[in-house]
Amino acid sequence: MTLNNFIFSNKPKIRFARHLAFWLIFSLHFVIQNLMIGGPGEGKTSRTFLQSFFHFLYFLPIYLLFTYFFIEIILPKFFYQRRWIAFAFSFVLLFSVSCVSIYYSGAFYLHNTMNVPFEKITFRTNKYHAIVDGLFLPFMLFGITAGIKFSKKWFIQQRENEKLAKQKLATELQLLKTSIHPRFLFHSLQTVQRHINNSSVQSPALILELSDLLSYILYEKDENWVELEKELEIIRHYIHLEEKGFGDNLLFKTEFPENTEGKFIIPFLLMSIVESSFEYYFKTGQEEPSLKLIIRVNESVLHCRISLSRPANKSNDTILPDEKLISVQQQLQNQYAGLHNMQVTSDDKYYSIDLKLPLCSSDLINIKKQILVNELPEPV
């Protein structure tokens, strides 16, 4: 059992052990604190450890009753509901009744252990029980238990917020992974159909490329990491299908790295940037667009640079980054916070997208998975 489970688990056995540990610590504090108090002549005599523990038993039921009434009823019913006046009134009332109860328990203790008649027990003879045991200790108990409750509630809320934030990021990443533009699918299918109708020898290859691309979208979207080579292969298929759709109008140049073995990347990250580049051309309606894609790997750092021609008629230009690139930037910030650099720059002729980010190795991914497994807390 981990410390996290011991503190936050709601399993009956663990919860009982947690509360028992708290009361054992409090009992030890009370017993040690009262070793040097011998009765009406306070501080002049001492008790044995057993005598001090026997003394503690007179007050333990009251501490238990009023503490649990405070944390299980008053806090949830008034404080958590922000009913401040009702909370203040109920707290003062509970604290007052607690003090009175402790005072009379102290008187009962003096009567039983020191044979002091009830009529002779005054505030002076019972002062220690009234002030220390009746005022200081209940106030300390209420403060400590409330602090524990508030801390746990805050921590659980923070953990829930983090969980919701991670779910939001995961949803955004899934949307990014599956957001292949319908225009591409429509034009790719048209391209494949045209080649089939013309009995082109390239038809089977185009069908396989489109099939691989759709398979990648369907089956890799749930993965946190994919091999860089797989992502690059899908980009090659995508570019080839787009080239067939553009015909001879597209001036295209690519450069892909060779040293990609054992390198991993978030799926659809580069693919989304490439797709956004082609969508830019369709939005601007350029007659002879040109695109230059360079992807290089230096050790464990990937450098991707895309240059997009801008239309001669600036009135038809579309400002980058678009919605998809903004989504890519958000995912980079979430997944590579402080480790990446992405810039979108422009001049009179070109837009340039420049991205640098670290690549993960298989060993590092296994370590991350193990960390995630170990950090998964027990539901509370």
Residue 98's pLDDT band (cuts 50, 70, 90): very high
Cα of 44 vs its chain's centroid, Å: 57
Task: Read off the pLDDT of residues 269-280 as tens digits, 9 standing for 90 and up.
Answer: 888 888 888 888
Helix (H, G, I), strand (E, B) or coil at 343: strand
3-state secondary structure of 85: helix
Q: How far apart (Å, rounded) are the C-alpha atoms in residues 289 and 310?
A: 8
Q: Identify the pLDDT of residue 323.
A: 73
Residue 263: pLDDT band by 50, 70, 90 thresholds? confident
- With bands split at pLDDT 50, 70 and 90, how would you rate the model's confidence at 250? confident
The answer to whether the beta carbons of residues 178 and 221 sit under 8 Å apart is yes
β-pair partners for 350 = 309
Q: How far, in Å, CA of 35 to CA of 24, rounded? A: 17
Lowest mean pLDDT among 52-66, 149-163, 231-245, 360-374: 360-374
Cα separation, 230 vs 265, whole angstroms: 10
Q: Quick one: average pLDDT of 9-22?
A: 89
pLDDT digits 0-9 by tens, 130-143: 888 888 999 999 99
- Domains for the chain: give ranges and CATH numbers: 3-164 (no CATH), 178-375 (3.30.565.10)
Report the candidate in 99, 80, 104, 78 with the shortest Cα–Cα distance to residue 89: 78
pLDDT at 379 over 50: no
The pLDDT score that the predictor gives to residue 375 is 39
Residue 93 CB partners (closer than 8 Å, separation 6+): none
Distance CA 135, CA 18 (A): 26
- Ramachandran angles phi, psi of 305, nearest 5°: -135, 130
The two three-digit tokens of residue 264, written as one number: 């991993």
The pLDDT score that the predictor gives to residue 216 is 76
Alpha-carbon span 45 to 47, nearest angstrom: 7
- What's the rounded Cα separation, in Å, for the pair 335 and 353? 19
d(CA 99, CA 132) in angstroms, rounded, equals 10
Name which of 336, 97, 88, 357 is nearest 224 in CA terms: 336
Coil, strand or helix at 197 = helix
pLDDT at 365: 55
CB atoms within 10 A of CB 151: 11
User: Which phi-psi region, left, alpha or beta, contains residue 82 (left: φ > 0; alpha: ψ -120 to 50)?
Assistant: left
CA–CA distance, 176 with 97 (Å, rounded to integer)? 61
What is the percent of the chain with per-residue pLDDT over 90, rounded to a whole number?
21
Share of the chain above pLDDT 70, in %: 82
pLDDT over threshold 70, residue 163: yes
Q: Residue 61 CA to chain centroid, in angstroms?
A: 41
Q: What is the pLDDT of residues 40-97, one digit of tens each?
A: 444 455 778 888 888 889 999 999 999 999 999 999 999 989 999 999 999 999 999 9
Q: What per-residue string of b and e applies to 96-105 under the rule 16 or more CB within 10 Å gives b?
A: eebbebbbbb
Q: 132 vs 111, 135, 170, 198, 225, CA distance in Å?
A: 19, 6, 55, 98, 61
pLDDT digits (tens, 9 = 90+) for 296-348: 998 888 999 999 888 877 666 676 666 778 878 887 887 788 888 998 888 88
Degrees to nearest 5, angle at CA 102 with 99 and 108: 145
Give the model confidence (pLDDT) of 169-214 as tens digits: 666 656 655 555 565 666 677 777 877 887 777 788 888 888 887 7
